[in-house]
Chains A and B, each alone.
Chain A
């Protein structure tokens, strides 16, 4: 089974900051990597699929990159509504798996 590891587990940032979250797969997953945002009490929301494809309606301050085993989610200028937990998920092979999450908190 493929294991997904995110770093950091949490971070504190201010509005306007550039934020980077990393996700590492235990084996090569090409670009089969998706990113989700979850606000407390709500269902997750798909932000980015196949490593870098922004979903319709997602602000352009979100971007994804990477391939193989190392991936990055970047928020170019953090906004108040971006304080949430972010998860990566591999869609390369079964069983599908998520990273443990990165909580973005207000500094």
Chain B
């Protein structure tokens, strides 16, 4: 059974960057797609983009183009989401989620990222 374990909470200053990790266990990592979804406090779910570990291609939502990079390390079965130039509006819980046919069937536990001066 696939499990996704995310890195711990982060507190960042505006203008800085954050890198969140998502380690998979229980299945062949390279066979599926990892998505990143975020949820601001009290708000809904926002899809940020996805990475296909093989061949390592990322697709990003337009509003994050230029600020986000998604990567995958097949050797450690870990996906990463790197967000730069942080602003207060980026304060949110960030989830990784496996998708099959673009339905998110396995989720990480979430990583809280707080951006504050």
Listed in ascending order, the chain A residues whose CB lies under 8 Å from chain B are: 1, 32, 34, 36, 38, 43-46, 49-50, 55, 87, 89, 91, 94-101
Q: What total count of A-B pairs have CB within 8 Å?
A: 56
Residues of A within 8 A of B61 (CB): 95
Contact residues on B (Cβ < 8 Å of other chain), bracket: 20 to 34
Q: Are B47 and A96 in contact (CB under 8 A)?
A: yes
Q: Are A98 and B102 in contact (CB under 8 A)?
A: no
B78 to chain A, nearest CB (A): 18
- Known: A43-B107, A89-B104; 8 extra A-B contacts, CB below 8 A, are A32-B102, A43-B97, A44-B37, A44-B95, A46-B103, A49-B105, A98-B47, A100-B44
B42 to chain A, nearest CB (A): 10
Complex interface residues of chain B between 25 and 82 (CB less than 8 A to chain A): 35, 37, 44-47, 50, 59, 61-62
When chains A and B are docked, how far (Å) is the Cα of A96 from the Cα of B103?
10
Name the residue on B nearest A92 (C-beta): B102
Complex interface residues of chain B between 80 and 99 (CB less than 8 A to chain A): 95, 97, 99
Residues of B within 8 A of A94 (CB): 59
- Top 4 A-B residue pairs of the complex, sorted by shortest distance between their CB atoms: A91-B102, A43-B107, A49-B103, A98-B45
Q: Are B107 and A96 in contact (CB under 8 A)?
A: no
A-B contact pairs, 24 of them (CB 8 A): A32-B102, A34-B103, A34-B104, A36-B45, A43-B97, A44-B37, A44-B95, A44-B104, A44-B107, A45-B107, A46-B103, A46-B104, A87-B44, A87-B45, A89-B47, A89-B103, A91-B102, A91-B103, A94-B59, A95-B47, A95-B62, A96-B35, A100-B44, A101-B45
A24 to chain B, nearest CB (A): 15
Interface membership of chain B positions 96-116, coded 1 if the CB is closer than 8 angstroms to chain A and 0 otherwise: 010101111101111000000
When chains A and B are docked, how far (Å) is the Cα of A87 from the Cα of B103?
12
Residues of A within 8 A of B44 (CB): 87, 98-101
